A and B are shown apart, each in its own frame.
Chain A
Amino acid sequence: MNRSPLHDIHVQLGARMVEFAGWLMPLMYRSIVDEHNVTRTSCSAFDVSHMGRLKITGDDAFSLLQRLCTRNLDGMEPGVCRYTHICRADGGILDDVIVSRYDGHWGIVCNASNRDKIVGWVRKHAQGRRAELEDQTIATAMIALQGPHAVERTRALLPVDLSGVKRYRFTSGVYMMTAYSIFRSGYTGEDGYEIVVPAGVVKMVASRLLGPAGEPDQGIKPAGLGARDTLRLEAAMPLYGHELHEGVDSLSAGQGWCVDLDKDFIGADPMRSLKESGLKQTLVGLELDGRRTARHRYRVRSGQRDVGEITSGCLSPTLGRSIAMAYVGVNDAEEGTELTVDFNGKPNPARVVKLPFYRRP
């Protein structure tokens, strides 16, 4: 099992650790709901060192990534990053990743659960091209700072000028012999940064962000993977293994905005056909009556008719209502459609609502 270089700090902070995609990571420190609310109202620090960090070098790095990514990477200047999918030839989603363009190379941040698969996939398609992949996951660490106060707090706590870094931009450099990349991105629906530094110095960076010992009010509170999941769900950001998997394509997953069908990429043909013939199923948001939580794989019905399956659900801490995402047939996907979610034989009324459930003010 992999341990984050911040493991000792998590234990000191009283985190409950859980296994996630082969990593021992903090589920929570105080309470998932409290950590969620702090992120929505102030700022939280998340250790996301388990995510894969890959470096792609070589003259053909761009053409390789253009071939692998659903999104058009044309025109990306150094300092720009973009969300994209990487798909199989049949359109099935292998992973959702952030691709970033550095001055002399490219970066990919992928899901921990898919890292081996993506490393293998990129290397396979790099054969015959002047492109090489270096897996920097273990050598580096990553911290996400998220919340309405994240930008201001991070700028005050770190000795790096972040004033020019807009959304989906990043800056990289070296500070006192420490190479860093700081991205204006995240997975919570809030503004903020994601910081990548060498594993050997991340404890020092974390201490700086969390505040001096004995003065935690000066710093940013930590939050775990539990809150990260409820935050991303309110923001309707898909999670690999739930909304996204190899059995579904990017269009049916409601992520057509990151697919450029005018470009040649692996998986484009089946998606073009699907667009022409029309989608069969699509990802929707549901709001349930009552307080019950719809879990992954619960069935969705229209009367007696089975129309789909829940992918994620929670009692939204921000909205105080039960929310879920689900795949349903396109004829039952219109906003306002009345459906039910099956809880062990008991139908719980639900209706299709617009996504995202939460948008930052």
Chain B
Amino acid sequence: MPMRIATILSASMLLLILAVATATARAESHLVDFSLPDADGRIHRLSDHRGKWVVINFWATWCGPCMIEIPELMDFHERHKDDDAIVIGVNFEEIDTPDLVKFIAEMDINYLVVRAGDKPILPFEPLKGLPSTFFVDPLGELVASHVGPVTGEAIDDFLAREALRSE
């Protein structure tokens, strides 16, 4: 008899722990943010851009597919920046500042580029390779990710679907 009581007690303890863990995990995984410097050293916070979709694109200068993708993102940014979405590029490599500045100028990148070094940033995981793109909704919640190149058109479609869903 005492054995059975002990079993019930430990089982309910386990359930309690699980419940608390679940609740905590939900609360923490809700909103995402980061503070990263741009090429000039100014710090930018992701949460400063709440109210719009933020397309976060991880890239590096050694990454060929990223180079193909960047013009697409520039075009998307140009079309959406005054309306419902912006692009933030996260440079994911150890690179000298002048080289990065020069590169951004040569590519004529029209969106904000911040630097992450080569360390991944939570919760933008997993970062299997480059390019990787993450989508943060206007409330600041990370809702989607994509590994590999994306096109501006694909992002347009995605936003349209999201808009439909929230209605």
- On whether the two chains bind one another, the answer is no
Give A contacts to B, CB under 8 Å. Answer: none
Interface residues of B (CB under 8 A from A): none
